[in-house]
Structure 1
Amino acid sequence: MYDDFGQFINGKWCKGSGQERINVIDPGNGNSLGEIQAASVSDTHDALKAAEQAFTQWKALQSWTRADFLQAVAREMVAATQQAARVISLESGKPLAQAKREWELSTDQFIWYAEEARRIYGRIVESRVPGGRCEVFHEPVGVVAAFTAWNFPVVLVARKLAPALAAGCTVVLRPSSEVPGSAMMVFECLRKAGLPAGVANLVVGPTAATYEPLMASPTVRKISLTGSTQLGQQMIRDSANTIKRLSMELGGNAPVIVYQDADLEKALDLSVATKFANCGQVCVTGDRFYVHESLYSAFVEGFASRARKLKTGYGLDEATTMGPLINARRLEAIEAIVADARNKGARVVTGGERLAIGNGYFYAPTVLADVADDAKALAEENFGPIAAITSFSNHEDLWQRVNNSDFALSAYAFTRDPALIRETVSRFESGMVGINSYALAAAEVPFGGVKASGMGREGGSEGILDYMNVKLAQIVL
């Protein structure tokens, strides 16, 4: 597959001219899926030039025409669903059903923003000048450089491409080198849909050949990142010289509050399914569970019982419900987090060990109880199959513990009390809140965090605005 695709520059697939060959590893068995000739600095500059040249015509197209292109992309994606799901599963390790669902959610992004392209509204403001009229309208910001992570190798690409293209921007996208084929599947759908040359470009390669030229180029007017908080901080510094606009979805460490009146079975069923999806490698997943003392023992045992029933295995096995971690580094990091929790008094209720499944990077679904607030499993984003559970009794003490984090991407609570729901939504310091639900990610609603979890939004009517400049015209007749 990688030989058929490679880099996508100015409307064509081509081989990279870099010196490095990128070896893509199947995390389910440790085998090589293939190699890619990496992009060079010259390739990245070619992609930038193509995007710059295409911008003038693309932004001038009627929004209805851009919408037609996005709808055509969505149709191509629907046709490619089965093949794409297999590629996603092979590269990321996630179960095939989850991979298919990710592709479908990515298709939704193009469908939604095809319609949103037709709804880029301005407004008229009454002027103080006699005979005058103030018009406020939006224009595409320009060439966009987009950077995506490996944990959702397609939906993160779609969240950036769809609104940028709908707004009238052109794009150079650099995906994670661990899952490049998944991004290539999206770009092949763009090609088949007839997207004009240069409007969307893909470069796969090392930091020096891709990231650095994109960040240094004055041609790039907007950066969109999904990645770590540390990378986001570096990107802010690197963008200062050219004053690029930034939107970032960074790390998370989501709290989950289970109040005394919660529907316990519902809370458990939803929490276990969400916590161990994609082997816990989800920024918005529940990481730290604060359970009222009256439900604590039942919640811990119920969580562990459900976790033990999960089928950990190779992603393409239809019986698998949890796949591997992405690489050996994540496996070692998870072991260190569990060891730290044990050293600080936590009890391992289930899991807490590597699983010998071939040569893959497997770790057992793990439930930790009585976790100290300063343990890494609670205090930091664990990004793995670890549910860290602690108890509470006093509500005021609870809020100090829950909001004592630099991360503020998502937060959740389970309760049936309407007044408590409103109070909880108000008191959570977070960009997104789920009450009796973990369903936060959809094309039609804004997605993103605050504090160290990022800035800007992807999805919803808000998502397209991050790719547009606001212009005011004072017109006097």
Structure 2
Amino acid sequence: MSNLSRSIAPANLFEGPYYLSIAGELVETKDSFAVINPATGLVLANAPAATSEQLDQAVTAAKSAFKRWSLLSYDERQSYLNAYADALEVHRDELARLLTLEQGKPLKSGAEPEVDQSISWIRQIAARRIPVEILEDTDSHIVELHHTPLGVVGAITPWNFPVLLALWKVAPALLTDNTMVIKPSPFTPLTTLRFGQIAQSVFPPGVLSIVSGGNELGPQMTAHPDIAKISFTGSTETGKHVIRSAAGTVKRLTLEMGGNDAAIVLPDADWKAAIPQLFWGAIGNSGQWCVGIKRLYIHRSFHEEFVAAFVEYARQQKLGDGLDPDVTIGPMQNKMQFDKVRTFLDDIKANGQKIVLGGEVDEGRPGYFIPVTVVDNPPENSKIVQEEQFGPIVPIIVYDEVDDVIERANDSPFGLGGSVWGRDTRLAVAVANRLETGMVWVNEMHTQGVDIPFGGHKQSGVGTEGGHEGRLLFTNPKTLLIKK
């Protein structure tokens, strides 16, 4: 390893080079791989491809750093996290622009809010504490419940929110005494590598390391004997592989996986006022989010009016390069997802389903652009209803009875999120309580917070992120029994 720099000068536009972050050093690699700008289809930069030996070095450094890091007090770790948030804020504009370039999301409405929320998240997490709980205290005996750190945490992060979903893991892991090694998605490694470089000027060596590379690094992390926990965000199929691989060392796991979230608009809903929230709940980030609305159930009494108004709102949006300030919807992030979303369009057309907006891809346009597509009342057994599209296609499905729509919403192997909309809040909450999901919004969409637990049911996940419950999952409970 070579210590290339621990001092990172601010810049509005960072153009590389990119390095791994291991043991406080910026590390070069022999091989690299191309990162594509999804708005152009052209190579944006080359990212370092870590070897298995470099992964081992990162884990060894994290294990060594844990011995010292875990002895710090909460206040000391808080100071480090706040210093990191301050350092990221200096680079805020640079990170947001880089995020748009590699991920595709609009700069003003997508990338800048993601970076800002991430910085705020770190500061808010830094102020939290996990106190010792007194379970019993008598004249002769005391029982205390402590929450001790796990050790080295491995984070495997996705390409749809590469900054937010990584720093969501970093802050609670480090606050609770652990050290961390992150493997970003090979589709969006650049912002992670960059905030890893910035971290090396703040944290002690080895506390936070970044290793980028191909998909082969993931199984090496999940099977690594010195990694105590894997925190994974990604697809359900990949999550199943993580579970199998981690079983050999009985790792702790937190898995946030796929979803097929239903939004139910009740007969009494103020549906006209809700259309912007429902639209962005489905189409935000070009539909590339796990808790996006994947199925939109509308009562028959206003179905036709709703579809017309929804389409009219959609027509007001602009598809294009996220650096264009007028653009509100960016491209698919990668060619693989672009091709997958096109299979939904092909299936919709092959089965004669009614497309009321979009549906046609401009073959001559560079980049990975799919237009917003609205499908009117496809059958319940159709691909677009049963599977997670993870793209800007919205099926609007008619229902007549509330009991029936709840049953249809629950008839899925997924159970991540959902939403219910209606003027009668008591009724809407009653419907929400019957949905088999980890999170349900009532008359709002995608509200999150550091004290709000977030996790999936069924095949949408294991464990929880966020909230006190999520922070506890970065610890082991340890019961201390003391005779007085």
**Which shows bigger deviation, 335-344 or 266-275?**
335-344
Q: What's the counterpart of residue 82 of structure 2? A: 71
Structure 1 residue aligned with 2:124? 112
Please point out which of 343, 348, 353 is paired with 2:350.
Answer: 343
Residue in structure 1 matching 2:481, options 461, 474, 477 = 474
Match of 2:100 among 75, 80, 89: 89
Question: What SS does the corresponding residue of 2:355 show, helix, strand or coil?
Answer: strand
State the Cα distance separating 1:418 from its structure 2 match: 2.6
Aligned AA for 1:438? Answer: M
Q: Which of residues 14, 19, 31 in structure 2 aligns to 1:6?
A: 19
Structure 2 partner of 1:40: 51
Could you say which residue in structure 2 is the equivalent of 1:169? 178
Trace 1:419-458 onto structure 2 (pairs within 5 A): 419-458=426-465
**Partner residue, 1:100:** 112
C-alpha offsets along residues 416-444 of structure 1, whole Å, 9 cap, x if unaligned? 11331221121011101111111233333
**What corresponds to 2:410 in structure 1?**
403
The equivalent of 1:370 in structure 2 is: 377
- CA distance in 1 between counterparts of 2:198 and 2:265 reads 43
Q: Is the 8 A contact 2:193 2:212 kept in 1?
A: no
Alpha-carbon distance in 1 for matches of 2:435, 2:238: 25
Shift of 1:3: 4.6
Distance in 1 between residues matched to 2:236 and 2:155, nearest whole Å: 16
Alpha carbons 1:335, 1:353 under 8 Å: kept: no
- Residues 315-337 of structure 1 show CA distances to partners (whole Å, capped at 9, x for unaligned) of 10000000100122222221211
CA distance in 1, matches of 2:37, 2:410: 38
Pair 1:305 & 2:312 matched? yes
1:186 to 195, 204, 209: 195
SS of 1:475 mapped into structure 2: strand
The answer to whether the 8 Å contact 1:307/1:366 transfers is no
The one-letter amino acid paired with 1:122 is V
Q: CA deviation at 1:206?
A: 2.1
Tell me the distance in 1 between the aligned counterparts of 2:214 and 2:430: 47
Q: State, as a whole percentage, how many aligned pairs show the same letter.
A: 35
Q: Does 1:140 align with 2:152?
A: no
2:331 matches 1:331:
no
Q: Secondary structure at the match of 2:127?
A: helix
Tell me, in whole angstroms, the C-alpha distance in 2 between the residues paired with 1:120 and 1:259.
40
- Structure 2 residue 293 is matched with structure 1 residue 286: yes
Amino acid at match of 1:426: N
RMSD: 1.5
Q: How far does residue 207 in structure 1 lie from its aligned partner after superposition? A: 3.2
- Which letter maps to 1:201? S
2:226 matched residue in structure 1: 219
> Any conservation in 2 of the 1:313–1:357 contact (CA below 8 Å)?
no
CA gap of 1:207–1:334, structure 2 versus 1, over 3 A, is closer
1:255 to 262, 265, 288: 262
Distance 2:351 2:37 in 1: 34
**Following the alignment from structure 1 to structure 2, what is the Cα–Cα distance between the partners of residues 152 and 27?**
15
**Within 5 A, what are the aligned runs for 1:197-236?**
197-208=205-216, 210-236=217-243
The separation in 1 between residues aligned to 2:174 and 2:323, in whole angstroms, is 33
Structure 2 spans left out of the alignment, 5+ residues: 1-13
In 2, are the aligned partners of 1:112 and 1:444 still within 8 Å (CA)? no
Provide Cα deviations, 1:210-229, integer angstroms capped at 9, x if missing partner: 22332222211111000000
**8 A contact 1:21–1:36 mirrored in 2:** yes
Q: In structure 2, which of residues 23, 27, 39 is the aligned counterpart of residue 28 of structure 1? A: 39
Alignment correspondent of 2:388? 381
How far 1:243 moved relative to its partner?
0.1
| Structure 2 equivalent of residue 196 of structure 1 | 204
Instruction: Give distance in 2, aligned partners of 1:440 and 1:449.
Output: 16
Distance 1:319 1:356, change over 3 A: farther
Structure 1: gaps spanning 5 or more residues: none
Contact 2:18–2:48 (8 Å) recurs in 1? no
Scaled by the length of structure 2, what TM-score is found? 0.94
Q: Which residue of 2 aligns with 1:243?
A: 250
For 1:46, the aligned partner's letter is Q
Cα deviation, residue 356, structure 1: 5.2
SS of alignment partner, residue 362 of structure 1: coil
Alpha-carbon distance, 1:141 to partner: 1.0
